[in-house]
Structure 1
Amino acid sequence: MASIFAHGFTAYAFSKSFSKEVYTTKLWLLGILCSIIPDADVIGFKFGISYKSFWGHRGFSHSLLVALLLGIAITFIFYNKKMFTKMGIALILYFSICTASHGILDAMTTGGLGVAFFSPFDDMRYFLPWRPIQVSPIGASKFFSVWGVKVLLSELIWIAIPATMYILATNYVRKQKIQSLKNS
């Protein structure tokens, strides 16, 4: 899996797509929550749930269906009045993308068993053909090691730098639009 930092920063970067009226601390914190919640499935290890099982790590909780359902649920709970508007659809899409990005980043890692993107309809686990991200260890104690440093360096290159470029690009486009409106 990618680390919690990479998942969270990706969601934060996506939140920059919204206008200043919608872009709030609540929005990006909920996006970050959506991006990390699929890994709640690791608790299954404590209960003897096999990695390969439906409920195992990178199983159903990492599916696109869960991403959509979580996007709908978060929007309904926290943005109820906007639910059936264009903004509500944009929020559902944002929270769903944040959640789905978790599985996509995990499918780009060098380890694990793949991601069950199409669960419950297909329990096959998939990787993307391009897997440049060093897989993160499960557990905090293992993360604070040489392995964890390798993970962070890998994520800096393949996630943090592109996400930062996305943030800078969206800020630039926004400023250009504002400047254009002022000049017209």
Structure 2
Amino acid sequence: MASAFAHAALGATLGKLLLPHPRHWPYWVAAALCAALPDVDSVGYRLGVPYASLWGHRGLTHSLLAAAVVAAVGTLLGQVAHPARRPAAARLALLLFLATASHGLLDALTTGGLGVAFFSPWHPERYFFPFRPIKVSPLSIRAFLGAKGLRVLASEAVWVGLPCLMLLLLGQRWRQHQRLGSANK
């Protein structure tokens, strides 16, 4: 898996891109949390749930179905927010779906594990992408706090952090361009 840091960074980036107004910062945080959420299944690993099972790591919680459920629940919860801060429901649903689904996409780019069950529970086959540049993160915190963890973070800085920064800069330039275009009309 990619580390929680990489998942959260991508989720927050998606939040800033899809809901750019500063009043929506709580949704950026929500997107970061949704992006890391699928790894809740790693608790099962400690409880003896077989890795390759439906409930194992990178199984059902990493599926597109799980992303849709998280987006639906999150969107419903988002409707209780103050109306002036609340984004459009469709935009929020898209953000939460993309943030949660991004977890499996990053994991499919890693160098280890059994792959990601994107289409679980109907199709339990697990997939990796042909290009897998991200170093796989250890499941335990202790193993992460050493040289291996530093290699993972360095890999994620290049393959997740830099693209996120580039997307944020492009998004900012796009919004500036849009403002200038509407000011010149």
Deviation at 1:140, TM superposition (A): 1.2
Q: Is the 8 A contact 1:111 1:135 kept in 2?
A: yes
Aligned to 1:16: 16
> What TM-score does the superposition give when structure 1 sets the normalisation length?
0.93
Aligned to 2:56: 56
Deviation at 1:181, TM superposition (A): 2.1
Runs (4+) of structure 1 exceeding 6 A deviation are none
Q: Deviations over 1:131-155 (max 9, x none)?
A: 0100001111111111111101111
Q: What runs of 5+ residues in structure 1 fail to find an aligned partner?
A: none
Q: Deviations over 1:60-92 (max 9, x none)?
A: 00000000110111010122588xxx9211111
Aligned to 1:96: 97
SS in 2 for 1:24: helix
Q: d(CA) in 1 for partners of 2:106 and 2:23? A: 24
Aligned to 1:140: 141
Aligned to 1:151: 152
SS in 2 for 1:17: helix
Aligned to 1:167: 168
Q: d(CA) in 2 for partners of 1:163 and 1:93? A: 18
Q: Is the 8 A contact 1:39 1:58 kept in 2?
A: yes
Aligned to 2:119: 118
The number of residues matched between the two structures is: 181
Q: Is the 8 A contact 1:52 1:59 kept in 2?
A: yes
CA RMSD, 1 decimal? 1.7
Deviation at 1:22, TM superposition (A): 7.2
Q: Is the 8 A contact 1:62 1:103 kept in 2?
A: yes
Q: d(CA) in 1 for partners of 2:97 and 2:175? A: 24
Aligned to 1:87: 88
Deviation at 1:183, TM superposition (A): 2.6
Q: d(CA) in 2 for partners of 1:72 and 1:160? A: 28
> What TM-score does the superposition give when structure 2 sets the normalisation length?
0.92
Q: Deviations over 1:106-152 (max 9, x none)?
A: 00000000000000101111111110100001111111111111101
SS in 1 for 2:129: coil
